[in-house]
Structure 1
């Protein structure tokens, strides 16, 4: 069996879980448990075999890859999140590179809105380099135009968060429930916990204040990207007490006591006066 996997480590911090009690025991994430890989289906494979090999559930594989049935085909590339993903390393891409890895890069950047050429060529030329440079600048990376492991990781994370944000809308109107972290009811940090884990990213069940200690600070609202976490001090000045997902276009989605899961403007209206900043935790 041929295994093709991609190095995509996840930013992780050591957290002290306090405040809201967890709905189930969740260990702090580690690089090993949070690795993600891409796997190319070969003849004789089944979702059962692949799930068993990587130590994840069939449901997780289907959800992450948007599969409606258990049917898969040789040559199909599956994203495998979570425990058990094997890291074999990453080969840098640059002008002159060719092949399926470049095609995948172009497709991913196209999905994110950075690769605008009319076709997927599989050749890393000036158009692809410019698309990579634009992505790197948007995510605060050195704009070399080449894809190293850090850029590759950030592209993958951006894709996961794009899908995550799209999936948040289905929960619009779900009621607020203190300590809730399931579709029967969420609090703000419970919604963050649920959505990350739903997308195959292991994330601890903890408070908004603790989540604020994770990741990298986003210095300006102009630099926010979909899936970044936005934080607010509602109860006491300077003390984080609320968190939500930035969804783009100056809006965020969160679980609030008044409307449950709902989308709000970030820089105007009620929430603007409580805004404390943002973090990119994945």
Structure 2
């Protein structure tokens, strides 16, 4: 019980700030996870933190801001031999054929920011929070200017009531607090994957089907 009213005045603004932030996120011990089981006797080849078996199975290993250089690519890839290393990386993260990963502007931006640490209120490559990452990506890749934190962004979108409606560029929202108030936002990519600034691992791609995100999923919306 707080007896001094002076202390109460200090605590209330801090609580209000935290409710709209992305600070309450996935525990740090979950920053490295295995997306599929790998054979014990299989030799692995690493591409920027992605372990690839010869059967195409992958596991995700966090590296510290060690990104794959992206060079210019055509609008389509006719064969796997023409694909670049970054395309293999994101094909594995999204669980898509490498020939389908051709959006150089989008993945170039994600690669440039990959692993940038989380910082509440941050908006630079030294540290960024979830809403500022969303606002920055939407402006740079889709030429859509957004402003505000996760709660304010939720109020700006047209709500999508079914997960099957999700398309590239839609926003996905999570309520990771006891009051079930929107506190985190990311951008939907494809195949149930979304990119976001996580407090545990910085800028990364996660799977909406993971139990953690299923538990806290609060809805999605499309920019009008």
TM-score (norm 1): 0.41
Counterpart of 2:119? 177
Corresponding position of 2:196: 254
Residues 135, 145 of structure 2: 8 Å contact kept = yes
Deviations 1:87-107 (A, max 9, x none): xxxxxxxxxxxxxxxxxxxxx
- Which whole-Å CA distance do the structure 2 matches of 1:240 and 1:163 have between them? 29
**Partner in structure 2 of residue 192 of structure 1:** 134
Change (3 A) 1:258 1:267: same
Q: How does 1:229-248 map to 2 (within 5 A)?
A: 229-248=171-190
Offset at 1:19? 5.3
Moved more, 270-279 or 166-175: 166-175
| Distance in 2 (alpha carbons) for counterparts of 1:275 and 1:235 | 12
Distance 1:163 1:184 in 2: 22
1: CA distance, partners of 2:176 / 2:123: 20
Corresponding residue number in structure 1 for 2:168: 226
Corresponding position: 1:276 with 2:218: yes
8 Å contact kept, 2:109–2:141: no
Over 3 Å counting, the alpha-carbon distance change for 1:166 and 1:216 in structure 2 is farther
- Rounded Cα–Cα distance in structure 1 between residues aligned with 2:196 and 2:116: 11
Are the aligned partners of 2:129 and 2:197 in contact in 1 as well (CA < 8 Å)? yes
Q: CA shift at 1:171, angstroms?
A: 1.6
- Secondary structure of the residue aligned to 2:214 is helix
Q: Aligned with 1:191: secondary structure?
A: helix
* 1:93-172 correspondence runs (5 A): 163-164=105-106, 167-172=109-114
Report the Cα distance in structure 2 between the residues aligned to 1:173 and 1:185, rounded to whole angstroms: 10
2-side partners of 1:281 and 1:165: how far apart?
A: 20
Relative contact order higher in (CA < 8 Å, ≥ 6 apart): 2
How many residue pairs align between the two structures?
129
- Cα distance in 1 between the residues matched to 2:128 and 2:141: 17
- For residue 212 of structure 1, report the CA deviation from its aligned partner: 0.2
Instruction: Give the Å deviation of 1:168.
Output: 2.0
**Once the 2 structures are TM-superposed, how far is the Cα of residue 215 of structure 1 from its aligned partner?**
2.3
Give the drift of 1:260.
0.3
- Give SS of 1:194's match: helix
Q: Distance in 1 between matches of 2:105 and 2:160?
A: 20
Shift of 1:257: 0.9
Q: CA deviation at 1:201?
A: 2.4
Output aligned runs, 1:46-85, within 5 Å.
Answer: none
Q: Name the SS for the 2:143 alignment partner.
A: coil
Q: 1:250 to 1:241 in 2, by over 3 A?
A: same
Greater strand proportion: 2
Q: Structure 1 residues 213 and 166, CA, compared in 2 at 3 Å: closer, same or farther?
A: farther
Which of 212, 217, 228 in structure 1 is aligned with 2:159? 217
